[in-house]
């Protein structure tokens, strides 16, 4: 299980680096899908399969539609790929930064802290993520406001990512 979680965390960091280097909206969307998949896999590994499924379906159903729409408005004839020199410089810089931070904080991270929510599943009637779902529905008003604010913020981030060299998705069509 430790190897699987390490692989998922490694894929998450590489996906985040791919999104942060931002070569083009098309490749940024691929990086976002990889990050969402790896993040949901980490949630499944820690005992939250229901929350993972809900987050992944909401992500694929909502955010990729917005991303595809804004990427279609900001279509570039020659998009930059991860093999271009300018993008490769950013990627190498991000990888060096991640390695330096992991070297600084590496001594404080232990595998023993990777305790899944179902570790004491033999003594419980419910799964670990069902309590979180009940809490989410009991405090639903604040969660709804926070979720709406995050989705609005994400819309503006996606529009800014797909802006390109011209005004992008905000231009008059």
Closest C-alpha to 59, from 150, 133, 129? 150
Between CA 86 and CA 81 the distance in angstroms is 10
pLDDT, position 33: 81
pLDDT, position 95: 92
List of residues 6+ apart from 47 with CB closer than 8 A: 116, 117, 118, 119, 127, 128, 129
* Terminal alpha carbon distance of the chain: 51
Between CA 40 and CA 35 the distance in angstroms is 8
Which residues does the chain have with pLDDT short of 50? 173
**Cα 146 to the chain's mean position, in Å?**
18
pLDDT, position 124: 57
Kindly state the tokens that stand for 160: 């800014």
List of residues 6+ apart from 165 with CB closer than 8 A: 76
């Amino acid at each position: 299980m430790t190897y699987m979680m390490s692989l998922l965390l490694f894929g998450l960091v590489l996906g985040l680096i791919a999104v942060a280097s931002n070569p083009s909206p098309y490749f940024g969307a691929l990086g976002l899908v990889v990050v969402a998949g790896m993040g949901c896999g980490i949630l499944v590994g820690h005992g939250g399969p229901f929350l993972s499924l809900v987050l992944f379906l909401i992500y694929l159903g909502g955010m990729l539609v917005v991303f595809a729409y804004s990427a279609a408005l900001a279509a570039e004839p020659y998009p930059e790929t991860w093999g271009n020199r300018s993008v490769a410089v950013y990627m190498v810089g991000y990888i060096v930064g991640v390695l330096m931070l992991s070297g600084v904080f590496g001594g404080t991270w232990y595998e023993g802290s990777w305790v899944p929510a179902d570790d004491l599943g033999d003594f419980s009637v419910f799964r670990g993520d069902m309590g979180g779902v009940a809490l989410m529905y009991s405090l639903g008003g604040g969660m709804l406001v926070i979720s709406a604010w995050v989705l609005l913020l994400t819309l503006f981030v996606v529009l800014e990512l797909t802006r390109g060299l011209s005004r992008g998705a905000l231009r008059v069509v």
